Structure 1
Amino acid sequence: MLAAGLLLAGPASTAHATAAECSNGANGFTDISDSLRGTPVNGTAVTNSNGNAASFGQHVGTVSGRQMGWGFLEARNLPSSVRVDLWMDVTNDGGNTWIQCGPFSMWGSGTITTAAYPTSSSSLRKFRVCASITGPGGGPQCLNWW
């Protein structure tokens, strides 16, 4: 899961949805297991200056009979004092506006996912996965739109 350029998170045209607002079927999202893996389409690592790192990426696959996309993060050997956050931005207008689903948070090592969202043949629907890690130098990182 390495590749794709990174962007800094935080553009102004974001509609934030808490984890609860994109869970239990809200806003078109579908809950999935925190261990569900699909086909990675891009990914990278988020790090802090203490040497802590977690890999995250955009996955696609079949969920409940539909093709969907979601964010996936895996952290190994992290102390329980380190928090990692994962969220996914979804746009239906080519990136002019989007909804941010999450963040979904975890302390220490393990795997987490965002809720899943249906893919589309429309070039206007795109996904972007972002993550952050606590500690010095651990600001948010986002993958390019997919």
Structure 2
Amino acid sequence: MISMTSARRFITVAAAAVLAGSALASPASADPVGPPLDDPSGVTTAATCGDWPWPTNATGVWTETQTSLGVGTKKVELRFGNIGGRQAGWARLAGGYESGDMFWFDVSHDKGKGWYQCGPFTFVNGGHNYTRAHYSSADPNLVFRACGRAKNSSSTHCTGWR
């Protein structure tokens, strides 16, 4: 039989773990932000966004915003375009990127308070320098941002939410 003291201790530890986990799933936003989540509980990963469309044949493409990765000319861009007649957004590495640079795409349905993370992806020579895309909408709560980290750097850089 478990004593009341042991039961209280278990509940306290469990509650602390739940609170810590929720802080990881929707951290406060600041640019640059912390590292990408390796075990993103409650955050979409590359495997989960695998059914999102590729922007390969997107038309009317433009760069909405971009930010430097803090090394040379490397940057990450938040791009938009039309895929199958629908507007969508995605992240793209640009400007002197190299094998080992990381990038990902964040999608929020509550103006950036919490988000889904598509990635992180590590660029390899001959591979894609862009993520899959997510369709946009007229909903003002739906916002996107692009994030990246240069090879051999511990600094993560993200565009603002758009």
Give TM-score, length-normalised by structure 2: 0.67
Quick check: 1:74–1:110 contact (8 Å CA) kept in 2? no
**Which of these two proteins has the greater Rg computed from alpha carbons?**
2
Work out whether 1:130 is the aligned partner of 2:147.
yes
Identity fraction in percent: 25
Task: From 47, 62, 78, give the equivalent of 1:58.
Answer: 78
- Aligned in 2, Cα 1:116/1:70: closer, same or farther, shift over 3 Å? same
- Partners of 1:7 and 1:90 in 2: how far apart? 17
- Aligned in 2, Cα 1:132/1:22: closer, same or farther, shift over 3 Å? same
Q: Which runs of 4 or more aligned residues in structure 1 lie more than 4 Å from their structure 2 counterparts after TM superposition?
A: 10-14, 34-37, 108-111
The structure in which a higher percent of residues are strand is 1
Partner residue, 2:62? 39
Work out whether 1:144 is the aligned partner of 2:149.
no
Task: From 12, 15, 18, give the equivalent of 2:45.
Answer: 18
Shift of 1:14: 7.5
Partner residue, 1:90? 107
- Partners of 1:76 and 1:109 in 2: how far apart? 14
My pick for the range that moved more, 100-109 or 63-72, is 100-109
The structure in which a higher percent of residues are helix is 2
Partner residue, 1:72? 92
My pick for the range that moved more, 109-118 or 120-129, is 109-118
Partner residue, 1:114? 131
Quick check: 2:75–2:97 contact (8 Å CA) kept in 1? no
Count of matched residue positions in the alignment of Structure 1 and Structure 2 = 131
My pick for the range that moved more, 35-44 or 99-108, is 35-44
- Aligned in 2, Cα 1:142/1:77: closer, same or farther, shift over 3 Å? closer
